[in-house]
Chain A
Amino acid sequence: MAEPLIEVDGLTVRFPTADGGWSTVVDGVRFAAGYERLAIVGESGSGKSLTARAILGLVPAPGQVTAERLHLAGRDLRNLTPSAWERVRGAEIGLVLQDPRFALNPLHRVGRQVEEALVLHTSLGRAERRERALDMLDAVGLERPRDVYHLFPGQLSGGMGQRVMIAAMLVARPKLLIADEPTSALDENLRRQILQLIADLAERHHMGLILISHDLQQVADFADEVIVMFRGRIVDRRGARDLAHSSNPYTAMLWNCRPSAATYGTRLPTLAAAEREALDDRGA
């Protein structure tokens, strides 16, 4: 196999606590991924989002990031200067966030925001930038991209806003796209559409994709490989097709604990205290 696109080993993120100690929120995470679609799944406090932030150099102060290995396409991302990080973000790695209402600048028109990555990372002229932006708005499934180009974020619906954010992240053709809960702010019927769009675009543009989510069943349909995190550690990793039959008690519980008409009158599966402790001690 060729060199992996992203290689992470011993990734640890910790924050100082009030009593002078450290709270470790990502604890020795190790994975490698190529151009397949990888999902990192976990609940609040699992460290999934901070793992993604660490890959982007976006862990906020006073958080501290250490790693034995943190490579993107063979390049060491540890100890980059702030300006070197700025060349990585947007050009090499794109990040799609949960809520376009907060991620897009409300005072700038769509076109300017989609073109920003081209201004920062390419030497394209104005007309070429505009053409690339319009192509991208079309590629993310926005009707009448020429009209959308001139709109402000406040004039977009949630689904349109998320498509614009995806366009802005893909326009500079990054090698890796990280989508952090990209559909959690959207209505149920839009979620599948947007996830499908992200998965299709990643494949078409030959990008690696890391999908961060709390929803195991949903990502299973859009990922090849799934990593399950619990309290800062990876506790399970397997192919998406095998998730329903995972022998790991936490993965099995996450898979089966969703309520529905079929679970009426039954108890939902939960982690027994002993299983929870075992997960805490062991990690994987």
Chain B
Amino acid sequence: MTAALELDRLSVHFYNGRHDIAAVREASLSIAAGTSFGLFGPSGCGKSTVLRVVAGIELGWSGQVAAFGTPYRAGQKPQGRLRRDVQMVFQDPYASLHPRHSIRRTLEEPLIVNGIADARRVAAEALAAVGLPPDIAPRTPNALSGGQRQRVAIARALLLKPRLLLLDEPTSALDMSVQAEILNLLMDLKAAYGMTLLLVSHDRDVIAHVCDSAARMRAGLIEAILDRPALAAV
């Protein structure tokens, strides 16, 4: 069976004008389709950079990256199916939604761009899938709570029926009770859509709750891969 994601000696270097900084150093891992994988470690360990490469945001990398057997090309944005198969939810729902666009517009735009018919109905279904009432569609994000905004961001990521969902600290800006609701929602959606999850978090408890296995990173290196018993032992 093809892995959902395979990284082989992935390296990312940044140049700050004086020094070369190795943000990710020869990271290799494989994520089985349909599982939840976690990446955790302290600030600056490179976990979010790995996610940004897989999302096609960070293009300056070396090594090999493939999702569902389709290779990425360094320096190029992902093409074709990859653009739909891989979607991302960001940490801060205040920053990741356009403040002047209605929720409806935010959700319909990716459908229209991808030539999907019946955008209004599909967008309405996406709202229902994340547990939001239809009457928030005409509102802008500032009229929503933090939890509601994160639900909108999740709805948007699900519109194109991704097979790999990337989650960058999806609950760390939220209250504890809202975090519980969003984590429940993500696990329900993963089961319903048969998705693979790649979750980045600094919170080991969140990783241990969600993930079937995880990688611990430090200073750009993958230090250890933890299976379920190892995650439970911490």
Give residues in A with beta carbon < 8 Å to B. Answer: 43-44, 214-215, 253-254, 257-264, 267-271
CA distance A257 to B231 in the complex (A): 19
List of 3 A-B pairs having minimum Cβ-Cβ separation, nearest first: A259-B209, A261-B208, A268-B180
Contacts of A268 in B (CB 8 A): 180-181, 183-184, 209
Q: Is B95 an interface residue (CB 8 A)?
A: no
Whether B232 lies near A214 (C-beta < 8 A) is no
CA distance A261 to B234 in the complex (A): 8
Majority SS of interface residues in chain B? helix
Q: Which of B176, B232, B233 contacts A264 (CB 8 A)?
A: B232
CA distance A215 to B179 in the complex (A): 13
Whether B187 lies near A263 (C-beta < 8 A) is no
CA distance A264 to B234 in the complex (A): 13
Whether A261 lies near B146 (C-beta < 8 A) is no
| CB-contacts of B21-72 with A (<8 A) | none
Contacts of A261 in B (CB 8 A): 205, 208-209, 231-234
CA distance A268 to B187 in the complex (A): 11
Contacts of B176 in A (CB 8 A): 43, 214-215, 254, 257-258
Give residues in B with beta carbon < 8 Å to A. Answer: 146, 175-181, 183-184, 187, 205-206, 208-210, 228, 231-234
Using a Cβ cutoff of 8 Å, how many contacts connect chains A and B? 59
Majority SS of interface residues in chain A? loop
Contacts of B175 in A (CB 8 A): 43-44, 214
Whether B187 lies near A267 (C-beta < 8 A) is yes
Whether A267 lies near B184 (C-beta < 8 A) is yes
Whose C-beta in chain A lies nearest to the C-beta of B228? A264
Q: Which of A258, A269, A270, A271 contacts B205 (CB 8 A)?
A: A258
Contacts of B146 in A (CB 8 A): 44
Q: In the complex where A44-B146, A267-B184, A268-B184 touch, is A260 in contact with B205 (Cβ < 8 A)?
A: yes
CA distance A215 to B98 in the complex (A): 31
CA distance A271 to B176 in the complex (A): 12
Choose among A261, A263, A269, A271 the residue with the greatest number of B CB atoms under 10 Å from its CB: A261
